[in-house]
Amino acid sequence: MPLDTNFTNQKFKQVGTRPLRPDGVDKVTGRAKYGADYNAPGQLIALVLRSPHAHAKIKKIDTSKAEKLAGVKAIITSADLPDLTAGDRGMRDILENCMARKKVLYDGHAVAAVAAIDQTTARKALKLIQVDYEMLPHVTDVDEALKPSAPVIHNDIFTEGVEPTPTKPSNNNKRASFGHGDIVQGFKDADVIVEHTYKTEQTHQGYIEPHACVANVSPDGQGELWVCTQGHFVYRNQCAALLGMDISKLRVTASEIGGGFGGKTHIWTEPLALALSRKANRPVKLTMTRDEVFRCSGPTSSTSIDMKIGAKKDGTITAAHGVLRYHGGAFPATWAEFGAMTAFACYDLKNVKSESIEVIVNRPKTAAYRAPSAPMAAFAVESAIDELAKKIGMDAVELRIKNAAKQGTQSSYGPVYGPIGIGATLEAAKNHAHMKAPLGKNQGRGMACGFWFNFGGQTCCDINVTPDGTVTVAVGTIDVGGSRASIGLMAAEELGLAYENVRVVIADTSSLGHNDMTDGSRGTFSTGMATIAAARNCIKVLCARAAKMWDIPEDAVVWEDGHAKPAGTNAGNFPPLSIKEIAAAAGNTGGPIAGHNELVADGAGVSFATHICDIEVDPETGRSTVKRYTVIQDAGKAIHPSYVEGQYQGGAAQGIGWALNEEYIYGKDGRLQNAGFLDYRIPVCSDLPFIDTMILEIPNPNHPYGVRGVGETSIVPPLAAIANAMSNAVGVRMTHIPMSPPRVLKAISNRKH
């Protein structure tokens, strides 16, 4: 039965409480199994040989010496991964990213892989593989790559989205434009205009668990893959396609995941492990080192953004125009488009235009990173709006409230909004105690807003009632941060069971239908929707069984408080039947009791946040410290508030790292110079204060419980919030992220002279 997905404002008994997560004990005792914690009997250890060059032609790969080394069981190059992608450019790029074909396109690009009896042997074998390279000129900077003098990385890329299509290839694979109104007239109408170019450096998701998998492919064409991933079904589909396997023959089991943040939505080493296993006819374990995670997984884009915003003296924004250049790494992508779509989404604008320019550079293939592309665009927009407020002499919050989008606003990226929370988060910020707290010397306060779409997608769920009346819920979305608890709460709520009587498991790919990734903040939204539907379908079966036990019509039974009851006195006078009683009789009433659901979760509710932060800047060193931080965000409905708070805090912390410290540093040779946690410094415990949170609940009308999704928006405002705080603390307007001590010190000394 299809689910009525409309929000019904029901009163909850369990949703909104904070029970213990069901996987908690496993995770505090070391028992939970992550990617690298699994071993198969007889497994080989695999290592990958990677390019030390940013851009080079592969003239020859000689593996003969390595093959002769005792203990080496298989070596693969691109020759072992024939191109089966049949004209699908996206899949071909994935294949080429997993293993370089004719050229290496970035420092760290895989060129060969070895499986051997142990790591020592595999390491020796890598050293025996000889690769002859012909060096090519490279480009790693997003602006440099667009210059006519830049080396062209792919000679078959002709800019999409411009008329006529260029006849010469370039590093700009696509342009797009969003908006409405007349910005030329809008800027004429403005009393004040702010215009800057903003830059942000490339960052990494920085999950603590490196990618790891164990592949096991047999000569009969069947295979298994154990892997840490945000989407085991998608990994299955893509790996099977690249290896020429039937999708059904490859069973993928998702390990516990040690962080992903978008970075574990793409395959890298998994096809290599599968190909090695197939060649060696042995299980193969492949784990990335931290150096490899930085050099050759999928960090985010570096960007360069031209931003121009004009307003009247009363604070009304008359026009906004952005040109956003984002790199996608060494392959064509559309990350700038996401940036352009999100840039102005917080505001109700009459005249707005945002243009995206996608750029290809000699860096690893960009992957999603939490609200991908939105933080950089928000940095530019929210910095410019703050400056605009200063120029007009208006309070920064008031100016935003005046221009905030509301229900019925046509968004800058197209859709007309339903009920949304930007206005409510701004009002809450305005009235928050944090806004009134005193500040010390060299301290400043800043605020900024952020937006993320949230996604839905393909999802399914199986609920099975066991013979003792407790229930298992099988879902296909990975639990990245407590979703088993929120799914369990929703199933318990619907069925009227105690939360402790529901066990949620992540099914492997052979036990459930296809599920999209856990990305786009969709886990609790879409799997919740499927779980609610499956539970309601299960209740129909439970009622039918009770009807059978009472020998009355099915429609004369209702479900209340976890019990089947006669619908009225006409239906009969029977004492209520519990799930336990109905389950115990199942063998005589039609067999096992279950509820299923498969759906495309449409209607994801857009999400908004406003952040407030206080920083202190040391004018002697340029070092900044966050002294106080407050996140205010609309959750739609917080199913398990502790893990909603956790998402708010975690996103803010990542944003703080991005704003102040984190950046990929490439040398002139095109090689990454800081591929480790010592030199790529993410925030540690002593860098941060407590992060206060305020959960607003403006229901998503398209979800039965009002859920919007909470995972991503929290990383969007921090870059600008901190830049705005810096401007208020020491009077420098930083337009280049990260605001690392040397950059800030330089800005302070320029200010003095």
Q: Which is nearer to another protein, 423 or 651 (CB)?
A: 651
Residues near 68 by beta carbon (within 8 Å), at least 6 away in sequence: none
3-state DSSP helix/strand/coil % of the chain, to nearest 5:
30, 25, 45
The b-or-e profile of 282-295 (16+ CB within 10 A means b, else e) is bbbbbbbeeebbbb
Instruction: State in angstroms the smallest separation of the CB of 438 from another protein.
Output: 20
Q: Which is nearer to another protein, 22 or 339 (CB)?
A: 22
Q: Which is nearer to another protein, 408 or 676 (CB)?
A: 676
Smallest CA-to-CA distance from 595 within 661, 559, 542, 649 is with 542
The span from the CA of 683 to the CA of 53, in Å, is: 30
Instruction: State in angstroms the smallest separation of the CB of 480 from another protein.
Output: 6
Instruction: State in angstroms the smallest separation of the CB of 498 from another protein.
Output: 18
Q: What are the Cα distances from residue 359, in Å, to 146, 153, 594?
A: 7, 10, 50
Q: Which is nearer to another protein, 179 or 650 (CB)?
A: 650
Instruction: Locate 400 and state its tokens.
Output: 């935003």
**Vertex 95 angle, CA 35 and 301, to 5°:** 75
Instruction: Locate 296 and state its tokens.
Output: 């050759």
Q: Is the dihedral of CA 523, 256, 375, 162 positive or negative?
A: negative
HSE of 425 in the Cβ direction (CA atoms, 13 Å)? 35
Q: Which is nearer to another protein, 461 or 691 (CB)?
A: 691
In this structure, are strands 624-634 and 691-696 parallel, antiparallel, or unpaired? parallel
Q: Which is nearer to another protein, 197 or 642 (CB)?
A: 642
Query: Rounded to the nearest 10 degrees, how much is the dihedral formed by the CA atoms of 273, 275, 277, 281?
Result: 180
Q: Which is nearer to another protein, 419 or 481 (CB)?
A: 481
The per-residue DSSP string of 425-490 comes to HHHHHHH-HHHHS---TTEEEEEEEEEE----EEEEEEEEE-TTS-EEEEE-S--SSSHHHHHHHH
Q: Which is nearer to another protein, 501 or 654 (CB)?
A: 654
Instruction: State in angstroms the smallest separation of the CB of 751 from another protein.
Output: 31
Q: Which is nearer to another protein, 28 or 86 (CB)?
A: 28
| Identity of the amino acid at 238 | Q
Judging by beta carbons within 10 Å of its beta carbon (0-12, 13-18, 19+), is residue 373 exposed, middle or buried? buried
CB 211 within 8 A of CB 288: yes
| Identity of the amino acid at 192 | V
Q: Which is nearer to another protein, 518 or 578 (CB)?
A: 518
Instruction: State in angstroms the smallest separation of the CB of 482 from another protein.
Output: 6
Instruction: Locate 116 and state its tokens.
Output: 């051997």
Instruction: Locate 2 and state its tokens.
Output: 């299809």
In angstroms and rounded to an integer, the radius of gyration of the C-alpha atoms of the chain is 27
Q: Which is nearer to another protein, 35 or 704 (CB)?
A: 35
CB 340 within 8 A of CB 412: no
Q: Which is nearer to another protein, 120 or 510 (CB)?
A: 120
Q: Which is nearer to another protein, 30 or 591 (CB)?
A: 30
In this structure, are strands 130-135 and 56-62 parallel, antiparallel, or unpaired? antiparallel
Phi-psi label, residue 618: left if phi above 0, alpha if psi -120 to 50, beta otherwise: beta
Q: Which is nearer to another protein, 682 or 744 (CB)?
A: 682
Judging by beta carbons within 10 Å of its beta carbon (0-12, 13-18, 19+), is residue 152 exposed, middle or buried? middle
CB 450 within 8 A of CB 608: yes
Write the DSSP symbol of residue 247: G
Instruction: State in angstroms the smallest separation of the CB of 287 from another protein.
Output: 8
Instruction: State in angstroms the smallest separation of the CB of 523 from another protein.
Output: 12
Instruction: State in angstroms the smallest separation of the CB of 652 from another protein.
Output: 6
Q: Which is nearer to another protein, 260 or 476 (CB)?
A: 260
What is the C-alpha end-to-end distance of the chain, expressed in Å? 72
Instruction: State in angstroms the smallest separation of the CB of 69 from another protein.
Output: 14
The span from the CA of 646 to the CA of 649, in Å, is: 5
The span from the CA of 497 to the CA of 487, in Å, is: 13
Instruction: State in angstroms the smallest separation of the CB of 614 from another protein.
Output: 16
The span from the CA of 484 to the CA of 482, in Å, is: 5
Instruction: State in angstroms the smallest separation of the CB of 206 from another protein.
Output: 5
Instruction: State in angstroms the smallest separation of the CB of 485 from another protein.
Output: 9
The residues of the shown chain that bind another protein, judged by CB under 8 A, are: 18, 20-21, 23-25, 27-34, 36-37, 39, 120, 205-210, 256-261, 287, 289-290, 480-482, 642-643, 645-646, 649-650, 652-654, 676-678, 682-688, 690-691
Instruction: State in angstroms the smallest separation of the CB of 505 from another protein.
Output: 16
To which H or E segment does residue 122 belong?
Answer: helix 119-128
Instruction: State in angstroms the smallest separation of the CB of 500 from another protein.
Output: 14
Instruction: State in angstroms the smallest separation of the CB of 699 from another protein.
Output: 23
Instruction: State in angstroms the smallest separation of the CB of 254 from another protein.
Output: 13
The span from the CA of 181 to the CA of 318, in Å, is: 10
Token match 């009247």: residue?
312
Write the DSSP symbol of residue 330: B
Write the DSSP symbol of residue 712: S
Q: Which is nearer to another protein, 427 or 687 (CB)?
A: 687
Token match 């953004």: residue?
305
Q: Which is nearer to another protein, 355 or 645 (CB)?
A: 645
Instruction: State in angstroms the smallest separation of the CB of 120 from another protein.
Output: 7
The span from the CA of 170 to the CA of 360, in Å, is: 9
The span from the CA of 330 to the CA of 359, in Å, is: 9
Q: Which is nearer to another protein, 36 or 601 (CB)?
A: 36
Instruction: State in angstroms the smallest separation of the CB of 8 from another protein.
Output: 28
In this structure, are strands 607-617 and 443-452 parallel, antiparallel, or unpaired? antiparallel
The span from the CA of 297 to the CA of 630, in Å, is: 32
